[in-house]
Structure 1
């Protein structure tokens, strides 16, 4: 039986992933209108504007302890660099790829992350977590196989988009592991503030040529994307500080359900029976993975049995 201390981070993670998936749809629309570079740069500028007063308030309340050490700053910078390239590749890829299919391709990331967590965080991979990830990955395979069986024709741009999404997925796997380490050392407000700050700074040199100032509906669209991204970062930062990566990583597969819904509502992207069958496997895999029994570790934190 999952303890309440683990169940709450699971629920918070699901909420964060839902917010991120809706943000993906908003950013796909912004990327189509303005280009992926401009959409990502301005999203983080907006996010920085939202988080600066919140972070200054929390820092004032915490005093000197509210400013991160150089080690933690380096961790924030490293994850921001990962996320900047990862998100840029993903949003560029979604311009040429249906959102649900893009999300399906990205699902190689949680499997990679499970093994990275074992190597870099010392987490023991429970058999149910591994089996659940494989079952969910099989669901993705059903969807991809259905697309191939249907004889779908991909243009060179679409192929390049899928390659970009697969590269993004590899970086996302590393990001999931760094996210767990980062969440152990910093609070969700600090994580959201520095990620928006560093990504905006990293993209700033090219903004003069590639990121014209948005106006009207595009401005509102990017503002909504920034708000959703901030909410997601804070929710996931809170959850990853309270549960192991291998418990939360398989939940990434639930984002596919939201991607199907957002793709259908915003872009008229059809959801086939094969897609629904894949979703059933994905959800089943997630339920199997999070059913892992926890026992106390030596430091008092839950470990999967």
Structure 2
């Protein structure tokens, strides 16, 4: 959810290769976050894991950016849309974690990446953007890819698929609000309020789920790493847009699918079947088509 839903940032220095490198790092951080999340929620409840992730993320932003850019973190013009956008990310994170409890990382990530493709279908009625033939073909390809992954007999938990699709609904709303708010809000304020909303919502629920044995030192390190990988991923993604055009970087965000597949295999020994791999490839191609379509449309 995270990599696909960042509001655009103005290009300040033309260094496209460095921008692409930052996107590679960002998508790796997001995939590592997913793998760590899946590992921890096998033992601990989802709200507890999510609370620690968002609390660490919010504290990291305050510690690193607060002293020098504190005003940019908290100043917003449109409070209620910013709050709604932040809550969409909180709800999406909950559904993504529930899906990861029941399904492998690669399949979960692929279904979630249907979100940017669905935005193409809603761009016309909501944002007044032109869709075009390529947009429609990409959207249909994305749906076909999800059908191949979640087809009957694929062995995926039906509840997990439903949770992933609920995440898609929340992420699409988050996407559209991000596009609208990017015109009026500071870049740093949007991710900060998202982290703050997650810290508050899941933090309030944390006492109800904190029971049993204390985490080991290794597990505590993994808990902390959730906030670190999310923070580093967000920072690298934002910074990449300062060195290269968003239309160049957007196709690279689909590296998240590759990292998710590799980490799912290395950490959990989970590999999609042949048809599932085809479905993942179809979703990836559809997403790249959407990104390239927007790039060429501006020329």
Match of 2:6 in 1: none
Post-superposition Cα deviations, 1:116-168, rounded to whole Å, max 9, x if no partner, equal 333333322243344334334434433334xx3xx3556xxx32222122111
Q: What's the RMSD between the two structures over aligned residues?
A: 3.5
CA 1:190/1:214 → structure 2, altered by over 3 Å: closer, same or farther?
farther
User: How far apart, in 1, do the equivalents of 2:199 and 2:137 lie?
Assistant: 39
1:46 deviation in Å? 0.9
Q: Which runs of 5+ in 1 are unaligned?
A: 296-302
Instruction: Give the total of aligned pairs.
Output: 284
Q: Which residue does the alignment assign to 1:261?
A: 262
Q: Which residue of 1 aligns with 2:163?
A: 164
Change (3 A) 1:113 1:288: closer
SS in 2 for 1:69: coil
TM-score (norm. length: structure 1): 0.77
Pair 1:164–1:83, CA change in 2 (3 A): same
Q: CA deviation at 1:82?
A: 0.7
Provide the residue aligned with 1:41 in structure 2.
51
SS in 1 for 2:293: coil
What residue in structure 1 maps to residue 88 of structure 2?
A: 82
Q: Distance in 2 between matches of 1:10 and 1:65?
A: 23
**1:48–1:193 contact (8 Å) kept in structure 2:** yes
Counterpart of 2:203 in structure 1 is 204
The 3 A distance-change label for structure 1 pair 137 and 235 is farther
Show the 5 A alignment for 1:57-96.
57-59=67-69, 67-71=74-78, 73-96=79-102
CA deviation string 1:172-205 (max 9, x = no partner): 1111222233444444433332221121112232
TM-score relative to the length of structure 2: 0.78
* C-alpha distance in structure 2 between counterparts of 1:80 and 1:215, whole Å: 31
* 2: CA distance, partners of 1:218 / 1:116: 41
Contact 1:51 1:189 in 2 (8 A): no
Give 1:19's aligned residue: 29
1:299 corresponds to which residue? Answer: none
